[in-house]
Amino acid sequence: MGLAKRIIPCLDVDNGRVVKGVKFVEIRDAGDPVENARRYNLEGADELTFLDITASSDNRDTMVHVVEDVASEVFIPLTVGGGIREIADVRKMLNAGADKVGINTAAVFNPDFVKQAADKFGSQCIVVAVDAKRVSQPEEPNRWEIFTHGGRKRTGIDALEWVQRMDEYGAGEILLTSMDRDGTKQGFDNELTRAVSEAVKIPVIASGGVGTLQHMADGVLEGKADAVLAASIFHFGEYRISEVKAHMKSCGIEVRE
Amino acid sequence: MQTIAVIDYGMGNLRSVTKALEHVVSNNQRVILTSAQKEVAAADKVVFPGQGAARDCMRAIDDYELRDTIINVARNKPFLGICMGMQVLVHASEENGGTDCLSLFPGEVKYFGDHLVNTKGEKLKVPHMGWNQVQQTRPHPLWRGIKDNSRFYFVHSYYLETETADLETGHCHYGKSFTCAIAKDNVFAMQCHPEKSADAGLQLLTNFVQWDGQS
């Protein structure tokens, strides 16, 4: 027995409410963040990830209150991402009770920000969120690039080189989302996940595309992910965390029961 | 009114520790987050958390002029070290090219290494991050109500190696076996994060706030 593979529900929060966007377009309301967090904790979630998708910066402080409320009631690791652009944003979220922050776009535009944040607060609380999309043709060797703006803008940065650089810069973990799969329910891009997981020393969380219990298990078995993240299958009650764990266990994966 | 002081020396996320303690204290107890020598020295119980690198941690302890205070309270009050707050209690850490620590206990802190593998020969990630099992190597009041081999949340790249068998109270395995909890007299310290370890962690913190410091 040893370290368990983690199952992480992700909650997208818009103006203080949990929502789920499919490919970042259609947004459906899924309720109160604290209630959701409490329920996931009871069901055995190993961590929680909150992604602030609030468009207006005027409403950003709403997220701080959400984090404060959740951290007062739920005692498992809490990651907050979305709109983390400067050291002050990191400090604000950690002070509110987050254990880790997810840095995405800001890392692409200013990679040194990751270094500075890791130096200041420790690698353990810096998660670099990576949105990758396959750019190779079917007959070519696999190649993925980093995309920004919800998968719309190509950056020209090779995904594998990028994650290695982030590892060197002091990231504590990589949250890897396949923009090809996100919202499709076709399963993770396990080739991408495996390539990234084998390229870095730090843990990798697979994200984007889960539709079935087997998809979660495959992220670990085929993608070699250290943790698997999903949103919609949990929010709309399709599956409970406990069902995911039971299924993963039946596939020979070590989970926290 | 009993006071539980969480030592704030600018290292890491102390908010989580404070919130979890506030969740478990009884009506006649209060939790304070402080960097003041006097408040730490006057507290009934002390929690010493910590995150980040060993050298930064030791430097911060001195910048806040807390070294003597920490050593003193660790000798006579119920004292709980968490994560880096456990590591710096021993003699030295390999981190940052070698860092002298508080030397309250014998032991050394070592790096997991870049070539850590599991029993199947598969590469293991460093940091050791997530929920792993804690084997209770001897009984202790802080283990009360917690099943042996319960999972706690870990996040660390360095581990404690101590040759003093009577110091170890908890054991863990990640590529290699290591000491993940130590206890002596009024001190209990652990590598994992009880404040983030759901029910098992809250039980441990409950046991701590009720503990009289006798082992």
pLDDT band at B60 (very low <50, low <70, confident <90, very high): very high
Coil/strand/helix, residue B54 = helix
pLDDT, tens digit, for every residue of A71-81? Answer: 999 999 999 99
- Residue B127: asked if its preceding bond is cis (omega within 30°), the reply is yes
How confident is the model at residue B122, as a pLDDT? 87
Domain-located, residue A255: no
Q: Do B198 and A201 touch (CB under 8 A)?
A: no
For A187: left if phi > 0, alpha if psi spans -120 to 50, otherwise beta; the answer is left
* Domain residue ranges in chain B: 2-210
Here the tokens at position B190 are 């652990």
Q: Select from B19, B114, B127 the Cβ nearest to the Cβ of A97.
A: B19
Q: Select from A76, A99, A202 the Cβ nearest to the Cβ of B127.
A: A202
**Total domains, chain A:** 1
How confident is the model at residue A122, as a pLDDT? 87
Dist CA B181 CA A165 (whole Å): 34
Share of chain B above pLDDT 90, in %: 84
Say if B174 is an interface residue toward chain A (CB within 8 Å). Answer: yes
pLDDT, tens digit, for every residue of B88-129? Answer: 999 999 988 899 999 999 999 999 988 899 888 888 999 999
Buried b (16+ CB within 10 A) or exposed e, A123-148: bbbbbbbbbbbbeeeeeeeeebbbbe
Say if B12 is an interface residue toward chain A (CB within 8 Å). Answer: yes
Dist CA A226 CA B128 (whole Å): 10
pLDDT band at B173 (very low <50, low <70, confident <90, very high): very high
Q: Which domain holds residue A184?
A: 6-250
Size of interface A-B (CB pairs under 8 A): 102
Which one of B57, B83, B180, B192 is the catalytic residue?
A: B83
Coil/strand/helix, residue A188 = coil
CB atoms within 10 A of CB B115: 9
Here the tokens at position A139 are 């007959």
Say if B153 is an interface residue toward chain A (CB within 8 Å). Answer: yes
- Segments of chain A scoring below 70 in pLDDT: 20-30, 55-58
What is the CATH T-level fold of the domain B2-210, as seen in this structure?
Rossmann fold (3.40.50)
Phi and psi at residue B110, in whole multiples of 5°? -125, 160
How confident is the model at residue A28, as a pLDDT? 62
Closest CA to B162 of B77, B101, B73: B101
Residues in A closer than 8 angstroms to B155, CB to CB, are 124, 172
Contact between residue B206 and residue B93 where contact means Cβ atoms under 8 Å apart: no
Query: B5: which residues sit within 8 A by CB, 6+ positions away?
Result: B32, B33, B34, B39, B40, B43, B45, B46, B47
Does residue B200 have a pLDDT over 80? yes
Say if B118 is an interface residue toward chain A (CB within 8 Å). Answer: yes
How confident is the model at residue B159, as a pLDDT? 96
How many residues appear in chain B? 215
Task: Give the long-range contacts of residues B62-67, CB within 8 A, separation 24 or more.
Answer: B63/B9, B63/B10, B64/B9, B64/B10, B64/B35, B65/B37, B66/B7, B66/B9, B66/B35, B66/B37, B66/B40, B67/B102
- Please state the rounded mean pLDDT for residues B75-99: 94
Give the CATH number of the domain where residue A208 resides: 3.20.20.70
For chain B, the helix, strand and coil percentages under 3-state DSSP, each to the nearest 5: 30, 35, 35
A48 beta partners: A78
Residue of B nearest to A69 (CA): B19
Residue of B nearest to A41 (CA): B198
Q: Do B174 and A2 touch (CB under 8 A)?
A: yes
How confident is the model at residue A29, as a pLDDT? 64
Q: Select from B154, B155, B195 the Cβ nearest to the Cβ of A75.
A: B195
Q: Select from A72, A76, A202 the Cβ nearest to the Cβ of B196.
A: A76
A245 or B53, higher pLDDT: A245
ipTM over 0.90: yes
In the block, tokens 């009024």 appear at B186
Dist CA B209 CA A219 (whole Å): 41
